[in-house]
Structure 1
């Protein structure tokens, strides 16, 4: 399909979820909107796919959980999309037992802390700390869909000097070590600071703090919810909303350049040219530089290994006291104690593949079986999504396929070490007789969905505030690029990252203010 006109109020580059959010808001406001997408389908990283031949399971292939999506976006755009909360927050195997955090049972969680750590100290510290982050979430999250507060304004809004210092001022490792005594408990806290981010507990740049903040404020609660129908259900609903409002979406059309005189812009693409008052770019700042013909900044450094699996059955645990259906319903931590995380970081930072790669796993189908066909459900199939940490893109530079293969073997060996049976024996087999396992490294993510360096947030996250107030709409909404007619609407915007729709919303609000 090609566009039917050449001039628009707005051209959106990229039909990932943020680009679709921006298009839907602008079209509903009566603006003419063209969305150009390089791939042959919409969704970007927020898609569902039948990955394995003959296995009718719609996997959330890249992104897989929802935390930061404001309910107001779903309501504003009239989306038919729901998420479901996970009762089990996490399970971490420890010896022949494990730490189970059950959000519906404080008594059960306390007993698990006591059995794992030998006292109530860390449970009490856990409850106090996450009560504080819940207050932080309730105060900060609503600001993400408002003009950027200044640093001073946000600090006054948080109104908790100790927590502000811990989250916004000092390396998170200092807080984790001061508040918690147990190595495993410290690790469970620290993982929220490392998802998709290559850093360590005492990084003086506070990159870990920024990542932690976004992981604990989502939805105003910090919950990480399961998208009903898979991640593709969200972007399908967004595409329907944008089209229904009048936006034109063209797939299989690659944008090759953007020219602007500061008043209007011209977008060069594989089907020709499009002119617009504003261009909203749902690509990384790194890729935007290329489109503008500017020198490229340093490439971002992604750091994760994603493994998708379909199982005939859930594996048995070494811990006989916990049903696998509980353990895998939340976040299942593997090799993620505080010391293990630090050791893996040091190894990867020195250019060596971590000997014991840390990872976390969850099972979508335990919370939402709708991604299974009737036949797959009758067979008792389940999905497992594994997200590996501390695997930076440069580890794969020389031998990407061999390094990925080696990491998969090492990562699954760590998983096997806490199971009562090898995970390989639980994998379903596809129509070609192959095990249902797919792995994606940062190199694969750059090649397949255009994430520079495989960075899932487009670039390192930033704190959600401005240093000073501005009257420029793009700066006020955190979507400025330095070019008045070109705005960021993707994960690389201020308050970007994750599956949120927030940058798309904010870019649209900036356009509507002009």
Structure 2
């Protein structure tokens, strides 16, 4: 139970953004209470041992780190590190493929496409996104600029048009000729977003932008010790600064007059114990949950429903599988992002099939192996015997496809997705899977409906709602976390400049409270 009846700040939700806010505010001398519904902190950024009797601690929902500013790590003094991947991606095609990495991209593109043109286009395009990243990423933790101010700050008419004005499919088709290359570029616009390359809403552009600006480089790095290492470090830092964190406490209502708020909560009790209700008051309430959950807490009308569109699969292997492409070492292919059925036309077909209410015939997905870069997530026996993790993220599988029978559709989709992977391998992935304590294959899959149930992500949407461009509009406040109530802020992924494991909404909500 909370130790006090009144706090300067009550934070609803102990995910990574809530913990970032708690750490900043407690270090600034504010009394802080974090109410977490689950029995642990971390939200979707956790590590877990999903396979019984197996000493492998996997990043279960969120996998890689790109958008977390080093500023937050430095200012909070977090004991947390990431490692670079030497290979960015590998995309098989027949008995060959495209390997993108330091010193490898040019030669691989030349073999794939038969010349230098595609590499020149690649270098030019990603030079542009790198320059945009260097301008945009550092200001994510500053007050929002207006659209015109951000355009002037970017100071690159081509980048502005490509990223902010035209569907990303226009640039992809104008700049690149090879279908596979186009698909590799487009995937960054589709991770966690159900859209076509030419969607006029530009939701795909917003997704693409956040995937290429991280760290000012666009790199996606491996969290040492797994994603739970980050949230454990954040929780330790917040507690050390004086924040009170209570798990197993679900906020049920927020009442506010704009100056003081009352937060009601419930503890679940046990088999022979009734749930317990309680209330605390606060000057500010930060909600590290979806905009839909915020509306429920305030007793207001919910915003339009969001919809996730991804399949998440975790696997543990006895060994990495052999590839059809004998020219590439599996340790290189799986260290980066391994693209499956993600050619440009394949992605378009998968989207069209899913939009029509059918599972994609060839489900697109991408995979990476955490343990190749950071074996610390494996117990010594597993690491020493060549075991490895594989994490798969499937695209274009919206929540609506699972509504009738989630379990049956999940099984069908998993089988079809692994079949697509098998077509790129020299042996079935099933032959490489490790077994748990009961002799069952070490593989688990999560649909959008599973994520909604387990984590209360609306419609299983990993960003809580469609991402927003990082500039101010008439609806946003100074920091992009404000609501209609002066002392209630949204500090989760649904804030402007939210989405992904970044801590940015948590930082910005804390700065709004502190008046900085």
SS in structure 1 of the partner of residue 91 of structure 2:
strand
Picking from 136, 153, 158, the partner of 2:154 is 158
Distance 1:111 1:76 in 2: 41
Corresponding residue of 1:269: 265
Is 1:230 equivalent to 2:230 in the alignment? no
Distance 1:221 1:122 in 2: 21
Q: Residues 410-425 of structure 1: matches in 2 within 5 Å?
A: 410-425=416-431
Distance 2:404 2:137 in 1: 41
Corresponding residue of 2:481: 479
Report the alpha carbon displacement of residue 297 of structure 1 after superposing the two structures with TM: 2.1
Corresponding residue of 1:145: 141
Report the alpha carbon displacement of residue 287 of structure 1 after superposing the two structures with TM: 1.0
Residues 52-78 of structure 1: per-residue CA shift (max 9 Å, x gap): 011100000000100100001001101
Corresponding residue of 2:497: 495
Corresponding residue of 1:367: 373
Residues 362-406 of structure 1: per-residue CA shift (max 9 Å, x gap): 000000000011111122110000000000000000011101110
Distance 1:36 1:343 in 2: 44
Distance 1:51 1:398 in 2: 26
Residues 278-297 of structure 1: per-residue CA shift (max 9 Å, x gap): 00000000111111111222
Distance 1:377 1:366 in 2: 10
Residues 146-179 of structure 1: per-residue CA shift (max 9 Å, x gap): 0001111111111110110011000000110000
Report the alpha carbon displacement of residue 298 of structure 1 after superposing the two structures with TM: 2.2
Distance 2:24 2:159 in 1: 35
Corresponding residue of 2:271: none
Is 1:383 equivalent to 2:389 in the alignment? yes
Is 1:350 equivalent to 2:352 in the alignment? no
Picking from 232, 235, 239, the partner of 1:239 is 235
Corresponding residue of 1:80: 79
Q: Residues 32-43 of structure 1: matches in 2 within 5 Å?
A: 32-43=31-42
Corresponding residue of 2:311: 305
SS in structure 2 of the partner of residue 329 of structure 1:
coil
- Distance change (3 Å), C-alpha of 1:58 and 1:303: same
Is 1:176 equivalent to 2:175 in the alignment? no
SS in structure 2 of the partner of residue 390 of structure 1:
coil
Q: TM-score under structure 2 normalisation?
A: 0.97
SS in structure 1 of the partner of residue 477 of structure 2:
helix
After TM superposition, where is structure 1 displaced by more than 4 Å over at least 4 residues in a row?
none
SS in structure 1 of the partner of residue 259 of structure 2:
coil
Picking from 170, 182, 191, the partner of 2:187 is 191
Q: TM-score under structure 1 normalisation?
A: 0.98
**CA RMSD after TM alignment:** 0.9
Corresponding residue of 1:135: 131
SS in structure 2 of the partner of residue 475 of structure 1:
coil
SS in structure 1 of the partner of residue 140 of structure 2:
helix
Gaps of 5+ in 2: 267-276
Distance 2:253 2:353 in 1: 40
Corresponding residue of 1:70: 69
Distance 1:70 1:493 in 2: 17
Distance 1:253 1:142 in 2: 35
Corresponding residue of 1:8: 7
Is 1:459 equivalent to 2:465 in the alignment? yes
Corresponding residue of 2:28: 29
138-147 vs 477-486, which moves further: 477-486
Report the alpha carbon displacement of residue 433 of structure 1 after superposing the two structures with TM: 0.4
303-312 vs 285-294, which moves further: 285-294
SS in structure 1 of the partner of residue 213 of structure 2:
helix
Picking from 399, 402, 412, the partner of 1:396 is 402
Residues 105-155 of structure 1: per-residue CA shift (max 9 Å, x gap): 1xx321110111122111110001001100000000011000001111111
Distance 2:116 2:363 in 1: 30
Distance 1:398 1:298 in 2: 21
Distance 1:500 1:263 in 2: 29
SS in structure 1 of the partner of residue 396 of structure 2:
strand
SS in structure 1 of the partner of residue 98 of structure 2:
strand
Gaps of 5+ in 1: none
Report the alpha carbon displacement of residue 300 of structure 1 after superposing the two structures with TM: 0.5
SS in structure 2 of the partner of residue 303 of structure 1:
coil
Corresponding residue of 1:324: 330
* Residues matched between the structures, number: 506
Residues 9-65 of structure 1: per-residue CA shift (max 9 Å, x gap): 000000000000000000000000000000000000000001101110000000010
Is 1:210 equivalent to 2:210 in the alignment? no
Report the alpha carbon displacement of residue 467 of structure 1 after superposing the two structures with TM: 3.2
Distance 2:179 2:384 in 1: 41
Distance 1:339 1:417 in 2: 18
